[in-house]
Structure 1
Amino acid sequence: MGLFNALAGNLQQVSNEQLMQQYGPFLFTGEQITNGYQLVRDAVVFTNLRIIFVDKQSATGAKARFKTIHLDSIVDVEVETAGAIADDSEINITYLKDVYQRKTGSESFGEVKLEFPRKFDIAPIYRYLGELALANRHRINA
């Protein structure tokens, strides 16, 4: 079932120890992994500072691209829960792409979608990201 979900584009939770072993060298000073998810070769790693998207490239997966969304740039989160049969759960994260554009009034936003298997409990991730977005919006608009 795990392989089927991965092939269908669904993320599967991975232990922090395994994530640390693979991605620990790419963490910033003081950064800690809080949880993470694997999709065949690619991964999404949540830390206390950012969300890291790991895109393994080439046939061997030896080459990898790391994209970061800093937690303090998240401004909106949407969730779509799974249906009764074959639907997956999704979380859509909206973030400020360039925090410096806010000063000029020309913000640009990015969006990323995470898909999880139907039986995965996405409520804790949604609440966590939603609370971050709420705090960020209060801070930005203060």
Structure 2
Amino acid sequence: MALFNNIIQGALGNYSEKSPEQLTQEYGDYLFDNETITMGYQLVRDALIFTDHRIIFVDKQGATGKKVSFKSIHLDAIIEVEMETAGVGLDDSEITITYLSNVNQRSNNEVHLDHKFEFPKKTDILPLYRYLGNVSMANRARINL
């Protein structure tokens, strides 16, 4: 039944939580020096991985999934976090982050992008929201010095 739920959630675009150990076993070779997976989620073949330095989007492509794309958002670029909890019915929980896409993070030259994560209503997203909120507050303090 759990496999079926994961497939249904994956088809709906929702992530299911995976342990850092499971994700490290599968994706550890792709981490940078001294980088550690802190949490992560699986979406059928794709993954959303949080490390102590960045958020990694793993996109397995093609019929075999042998071709894999890795894209990152660095944690030091996140400046805003929004959360929407699941309602009644088919609603999902969502977290949206706003981040700076430019390398030189100066308050007079900001380029903002947004990214939305959708989770099944059974997923407790509050710890992730709080974590990302604390990251964004620290980044704002650093950028605005």
Partner of 1:125: 128
Q: Does 1:102 align with 2:87?
A: no
Q: Does 1:86 align with 2:97?
A: no
Aligned partners of 1:96 and 1:110 also within 8 Å: yes
Q: Give the deviation of 1:18 after TM superposition.
A: 1.7
Aligned counterpart in structure 2 of residue 139 of structure 1, from 127, 137, 142: 142
Q: Does 1:61 align with 2:65?
A: yes
Q: Give the deviation of 1:117 after TM superposition.
A: 0.3
Q: Root-mean-square deviation (CA), in Å?
A: 1.2
TM (norm. structure 2) is 0.93
CA distance in structure 2 between the aligned counterparts of 1:119 and 1:57, rounded to whole angstroms: 28
CA distance in structure 2 between the aligned counterparts of 1:26 and 1:110, rounded to whole angstroms: 25
Q: Give the deviation of 1:101 after TM superposition.
A: 5.8
Q: Give the deviation of 1:52 after TM superposition.
A: 0.4
Deviations 1:112-141 (A, max 9, x none): 111000111110000000111011001100
Q: Give the deviation of 1:99 after TM superposition.
A: 2.5
Partner of 2:39: 35
Extract structure 1 runs of 4+ deviating beyond 3 A. Answer: none
Deviations 1:48-106 (A, max 9, x none): 11110111111111111111111111000111100022100000011100132627x32
- The amino acid of 1:84's aligned partner reads V
Q: Does 1:73 align with 2:54?
A: no
Matches within 5 A, 1:39-54: 39-54=43-58
Structure 1 residues 137 and 36 mapped into 2: Cα distance closer, same or farther (>3 Å)?
A: same
Aligned partners of 1:45 and 1:52 also within 8 Å: yes
Partner of 2:26: 22
Aligned partners of 1:77 and 1:130 also within 8 Å: yes
Deviates more, 1:41-50 or 1:93-102: 93-102
TM (norm. structure 1) is 0.95
Q: Structure 2, unaligned stretches of length 5 or more?
A: none
Specify the SS of the correspondent of 2:133. Answer: helix
Aligned partners of 1:52 and 1:68 also within 8 Å: yes
Q: Give the deviation of 1:111 after TM superposition.
A: 1.2
